[in-house]
Structure formats: C-alpha cells, structure tokens
C-alpha cells in the first residue's frame, strides 16, 4: 500500500537527514529532524505499536484535527487505512515534496504485517 503523510519540519528535507536508524530512534521532535526523519519516527513508532510516540511527532495542526491522544489512538486502530501501519512488516519513504516553507508531504510504501 502506498500512503501519503504530511509533516511539519523547519529543516530542509535533505540537508539534515539523519541516518535512518538514528532518526527512527528519536524519542521527541527536534529542529534537526527533516520531514522524512519525522515520518520515519512516526512509522517506526507505529510499527512497534507505540501510538503515543507517533502522536508526539504529529504536527500541531494534525493534533488539533485529531484531538487528544485518545482520539488519535482510536483513529489509528479503527481506521481501515491507518491500522495497517500498526506492526507493519516494513515501510519505505519513497518521496518527499515541500508544500510550504515548513510543510512537507511524504509518500510511503507500507508492507502490512501478515
């Protein structure tokens, strides 16, 4: 499945990319994380079933739209598209497009568990 993910980041997409393993291990948002790093953190968290960590990396506008953590968690677990992200076998960020100065859209390929 190919999905789109939006990310707010103050860093350029490619200038500050961390090594994928380093980015995946980040525990909180930080200015040096690129949009791809943020999406990688979120997908890694969901791959491990950690909805709280994923929520910590959500943009302020996403948090406003999805509501508090309980609503976000329900959306992830009950939505037929998003629940495939939980415990996914693998994922790949295939592209990133800058929409605005601090807004990016990343395309990701997900291989669901099972």
- H-assigned helices in 48-113: 51-56, 60-66, 69-78
For residue 16, name the pLDDT band (cuts at 50, 70, 90): very low
Report the percent of the chain where pLDDT is more than 70.
Answer: 78
pLDDT for the residue numbered 68: 95
Mention every residue, 6+ apart, whose C-beta is less than 8 A from residue 52.
45, 69, 73
pLDDT for the residue numbered 26: 82
Residue 15 pLDDT more than 50?
no
CB 109 within 8 A of CB 5: no
**46-83 pLDDT, tens per residue?**
999 999 999 999 988 889 999 899 999 999 999 999 99
């Amino acid at each position: 499945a190919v999905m789109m993910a939006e990310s707010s980041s103050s860093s350029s997409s490619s200038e500050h990319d961390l090594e994928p393993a380093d980015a995946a291990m980040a525990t909180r948002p930080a200015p040096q994380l690129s949009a791809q790093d943020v999406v990688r953190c979120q997908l890694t968290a969901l791959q491990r079933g950690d909805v709280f960590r994923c929520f910590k990396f959500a943009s302020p506008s996403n948090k406003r739209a999805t509501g508090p953590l309980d609503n976000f968690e329900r959306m992830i677990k009950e939505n037929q598209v998003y629940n495939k992200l939980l415990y996914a076998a693998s994922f790949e960020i295939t592209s990133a497009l800058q929409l605005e100065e601090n807004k990016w859209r990343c395309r990701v390929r997900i291989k669901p568990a099972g």
